[in-house]
Amino acid sequence: MTTPSPQPTVEQDGQAQGASRLRSSGTVLTRMFVAVAVLAVVVIGVVNVVGALRIFTATIDSQLSSLATDRAGTVTNELEHVKAQVAVLAQDASIAAASRDLVSSFTELGESGGELTASQEQELVEFYARDEIASGAVEESAAIPQSMSGQYVQYHYIVDNPDVDSDRALLVDAGDGSAYSQMHSQYHPMLRARAELLAVEDLLLIDLGATSEVVYSVNKRIDVGTSLQSGPYRDSTLGVALAERLDTVPPGEAILVDFDRYVPAGGSPTMFAVAAVRDKTEVVGAVAVALRGDFLDSITTFDGGWESVNVGDTGEMYLVGSDSLMRSVSRMWVEDPASYLSAVEKEGYPPEVSAAINDVGTTVLGQPVATDAVAAALNGSVFSDGSKSYLGVRTFVFAQPLAVPDLDWVIVSEFARSEARGPLWGYLITLGLLALAVIPVVTIIAVYMGRRLTRPVEPLVGAADAIASGDVDVEIPALGRNEYGDLGNRINTLTRELRERDDRRREEERSTSQVLLAALPPRLVEGVRGAIKDGTITVASDFSDLISDCTVIAVSVRGYFDLGASDMEQTLEVSTELAKSVEELARQCDLERARSTPGDFVFSAGLQSEGHGTADAVRFVGGLLVLLAELQEETAHTGEFRIGVSSGQVASGLLRGNEISFGTWGAPVRTAMLLSQIADPYQALVDEVAAEEFENSWDLRRVETVDLQGSELVVFALDDSSSPST
C-alpha cells in the first residue's frame, strides 16, 4: 500500500511566500538601481560629449582673457610710470635751469658767432651724404638744419665729434669757446646721468618758441639743432604732438607720443614721453625722452617664458595701434625669424612688409594686424571668439582696448585652434573608455546596495536632523564597510568641512578688517564691514564715496633738501625725515593724508567731525611753519615753502585702480593745490571760505592774484607766514 506524501502546512506556505516576495522585491530594487545607474552614465556621457567643446572653449577664452587683462594692467602701469617720471623730471629745478640756459645759448649762436666756415659746411653736407639718413625717408638737403645755430651744433657735436655713433654722448665740451658749449659742459653730465637713470634711448630739450628747435640731445642724434615745426621731422609723431597737444596738457603732467619710424633713430620704432618744463609758472621749454622699440616687448612676451603661462607652442600676446600695426613684437618672429618671414610671404603681404620687419629687426610698426578682433577692440568693444590671426591661422582670440589716454592701442591674446583642440579629443576618448568601465562597476555596486538596504538608518537620520538644526559637532559612529558606513563617513567629512568653513569665515573676516584698515581710516571700517555682512556691498569697487565738509591744506616744499649731487645720501635722509615729520604733525592735528609726493603734501581736516575742521587746520599750519624753520636751522640750507588752504565739501573714499587706496577729491583739493603753486615763497594763501574761519586765529590781508589761466582769484595771505623764521 502506498503511503501518501506529507502536505505543506499553511504556516510553511506563508513563510515561503514571504521569502519569495522579499527575494522578488530585492531583485526588482537591484534592477532599478542598475537601470538608473546605466541611464545616468549614458546621459552624463552624452552631455559631456555635447558640452565638452563648449566648456573647453570657455576655458581657453578665460585663460586668454585673464592673461590679456593682466598684461594690459602691467603695460598701462608701465606707461603711466614713464609719464610720471617725465612729469617729475620737467618740474625739477635743475632741468628748468638747463633748459633755460641751453635755449638761450643756442639762440645766441644764431645771433652772433655761430656761423660755420665754408669747409665746415662742406663737411656737414658730406656727412649727410654718407649714411646718416634712412634710405628715402628724408632728402639729404632737407635733413640739414635750417638755422645757423642748428648747423653749428651739429657740426661741432656730431660731425667733428671724436666719438662716433652710440658714443657721441661722451663728448662734454666741443672746445669751440661758445656760450653754448659752456652751458653744454655744465649741464651735459647731469642730463646724461638722468637719461641713464631712466634707462631711455635719448633725452631731448626743446625750445618751445617760434621754431620748436631741439637745442640739446644726450646722444647727439641728427635731430639736435633741427626744427620740429618746420624741419625734416615736423611730420613725425613727436613733431605733431608738440604742435597740437603739448599746450593743452595741465601743469605737472606729461604726454605719451605713439611709436614712429623715427629717422634720427635710424628708422627704428621709437616712442616719446614729453612734458613742458616750467620754472615756477613760466614755461621755459620742453623735455622729451625717447623709448626704444622693444620697450614693452618683455611684458607681452613674458620674457620668453611662455611655458610659465601655459599657452603651448602657438599662444602669443601683442599690442596693436590705431593704424592696425603692431606695437610689440610677435612671438614667432622672436623664436624663428626665417619661418615668420616665410609665413608673411605665404599670407600674401606685400614685399615691403617683410623688408620693413627684416630691416629694423622687429615687427613693431611693420606687421599689419587687420583682423576682426583688432577692429572690434579699436571700436571700443571686447572681442572673445574664434577668428583668423594676422598670419591666417585659425585661432581663439581675446582682444580689448588698452586704457591709456594718450594711446589708441588694443591688446590681443590668441591661441591656435589646432593646438587648443588636441587635448579635447583625447579627453573625449578617455571619457568614452571611462563610461565603458563604469557601467559594470555600477552594476556590481547596485546589487550590493540592494542586499544591504535593511541595515538601520536611524544614526544617519539623527545626524542629518542635527546638522539641519545647526549642530556641526555631530559625529556618526562606524556603521561598517558598506553604503551606510560610506554615507556616515561622508556626513562626518561634511561636518568637518562645515567646521573648517566656519574657521575660514572667521579668518576671512579678520583679513577683511586688515585690508580695510590699510585702505580706510578706522572710523569707516566698522561701517564697511557692516555693509559687507548685510550684502549692501560685496567688493571694494562698490564702496560709495563719502561726502563731508573739510579744510584741505596743500604744502609745497623746495630747497630744504637740495644739498647737491655730492651728498645724495644726506639729501635722501633730510627728505625722508621731512616727510616723516610732516606726516607725524598731521597725525597729531587729526589730519588725514590725501596724497603725498617728495616735497608736496595734501592733507584734509574735519573729515572726522562736524564743520570744516578749521581749528585742526590752524594748528597744523602753525606747527608746519615751526617745523620748517627748525629744519632750515638744522640743515643750514635755505629752502622755501608755499601753502594753499581751501575749505568746502569734498568726497572721500576708496580710489578705484589696481590697488586699494583711500583718497580725498573735490574743488577744495584742486583750489588748495593751485594756491600752493601760485603763492610766493614763504607764503600761505587761503580762499574766501577758509578765510572766514582763519581770521579768528590769524591776521589776514587780501592778495590780488590770478590763477594759471589768468583769471582773478580772491585769496588772503596769512601775515605770520611772511618769512621763513615764523
d(CA 214, CA 709): 27
Q: What is the DSSP string of 229-289?
A: TTSTTTTSHHHHHHHHTGGGSPTT--EEEEEEE-GGGTT-EEEEEEEEEEETTEEEEEEEE
Residues 477, 467: Cα–Cα separation, whole Å: 15
- Name the least confident of 35-44, 149-158, 391-400, 663-672: 35-44
Residues ≥6 apart with Cβ < 8 Å to 492:
475, 476
Q: Are 549 and 648 in contact (CB under 8 A)?
A: yes
CB burial of 153-174 (b: ≥16 within 10 Å; e: otherwise) equals bbbbbbbbbeeeeeebbebeeb
**Among 107-116, 273-282, 424-433, where is mean pLDDT lowest?**
424-433
- 652's CB contacts (< 8 A; 6+ apart) are 545, 546, 547, 548, 550, 592, 604, 607, 662, 663, 664, 665
Q: Which three cell numbers stand for residue 677?
A: 603753486
Could you tell me the pLDDT band of residue 81, with boundaries at 50, 70 and 90?
Answer: very high
Quick one: which H or E segment has residue 89?
A: helix 10-90
Q: What is the pLDDT of residue 168?
A: 92
pLDDT at 9 over 70: no
Is residue 344 within 8 A of residue 328, CB to CB? The reply is no
Give CA–CA dist 274/56, Å, rounded.
46
User: For residues 9 and 449, which has the higher predicted lDDT (pLDDT)?
Assistant: 449
Mean pLDDT of all residues in 81-102? 94
pLDDT score at 17: 44
| C-alpha–C-alpha distance, residues 233 and 220, integer Å | 15
Q: List residues bridging with 600 in a β-sheet.
A: 556, 597
- Name which of 242, 226, 212 is nearest 147 in CA terms: 226
| Dihedral sign computed on CA atoms, order 160, 162, 167, 169 | negative
Query: Over the stretch 522-574, which tens digit does the pLDDT of each residue have?
Result: 555 665 566 566 655 554 444 444 678 889 999 988 876 665 555 667 777 77
Q: Does domain 538-721 have CATH number 3.40.47.10?
A: no
- d(Cα 575, Cα 561) in Å, to the nearest integer? 6
Mean pLDDT of 359-384: 93
At 85 the pLDDT is 95
How far apart are alpha carbons 609 and 692 in whole angstroms? 19
Whole-angstrom CA distances from 328 to 265, 269, 468, 681 are 17, 10, 58, 47
DSSP assignment string, 622-672: HHHHHHHHHHHHHHT---EEEEEEEEEEEEEEEEPSSS-EEEEESHHHHHH
Q: What does the pLDDT look like over 392-437, one tens digit per residue?
A: 999 999 999 998 888 999 999 998 887 766 666 666 677 677 767 7
What's the one-letter identity of residue 188?
A: H
CB 652 within 8 A of CB 545: yes
Which pTM does this prediction carry? 0.55
- Cell numbers for 95, please give them: 632741468
Question: Residues 357, 358, 361, 366: what is their CA dihedral angle, to the nearest 10 degrees?
Answer: -10
Name the pLDDT band for 516 (thresholds 50, 70, 90): low
Q: How far apart are CA 273 and CA 472, in angstroms?
A: 62
> Which grid coordinates belong to 673?
593745490
How confident is the model at residue 513, as a pLDDT?
64
pLDDT for 61 beyond 90: no
Which of 127-136, 169-178, 299-308, 368-377 bottoms out in mean pLDDT, i.e. has the lowest?
Answer: 127-136
Q: Give the whole-angstrom CA distance, residue 142 versus residue 139.
A: 5
646: nearest Cα among 598, 623, 624, 613: 613
Element of type H or E holding 148: helix 148-154
Q: Report pLDDT digits (tens) over 610-653.
A: 778 888 888 898 888 888 888 777 766 667 889 999 988 887 77
Residue in 217, 8, 266 with CA at minimum distance from that of residue 98: 217
Residue range(s) occupied by CATH 3.30.70.1230 in the chain: 538-721
Contact partners, residue 439, CB within 8 Å, separation at least 6: 37, 38, 41
Task: Name the DSSP letter for residue 719.
Answer: G
State how far the Cα of 377 lies from the Cα of 38, in Å rounded to an integer.
Answer: 48
* Percent of the chain residues topping a pLDDT of 90: 35
Average pLDDT of the residues of the chain: 81
Angle at 77 between CA 73 and CA 81, to 5 degrees: 175
**What is the pLDDT at residue 5?**
47
Strands 683-687 and 640-655: parallel
Alpha carbon dihedral 106, 107, 112, 118, in 10-degree steps, equals 60
Under the banding of pLDDT at 50, 70 and 90, the label for residue 514 is low
Q: Which amino acid is at 313?
A: D
Grid cell of 683 as nine digits: 607764503
pLDDT at 15: 42
What kind and span of H or E run contains 583?
helix 568-588
Ordered strands of the 316-320 beta sheet: 316-320, 410-416, 394-401, 383-388
Cα distance between residue 244 and residue 500, in whole Å = 62
**Whole-angstrom Cα distance, residue 77 to residue 66?**
17
pLDDT-derived band at 135 (thresholds 50, 70, 90) equals very low
- Return the CA Rg of the chain: 38
C-alpha closest to that of 368 among 383, 384, 389: 389
507 vs 529: CA distance, rounded Å: 14
Higher per-residue pLDDT: 711 or 352: 352
The single residue listed with the C-alpha cell 626704444 is 292
Q: What does the alpha-carbon distance between residue 287 and residue 310 come to, in Å, rounded to a whole number?
A: 42
How far is Cα 308 from Cα 67, in angstroms, rounded to an integer? 12
Spatial separation of the C-alpha atoms in residues 488 and 293, rounded to whole Å:
65
235 touches 341 (CB < 8 A): no
Q: Tell me if 687 sits within 8 A of 553, measured CB to CB.
A: no
Are the C-beta atoms of residues 275 and 249 closer than 8 Å to each other? yes
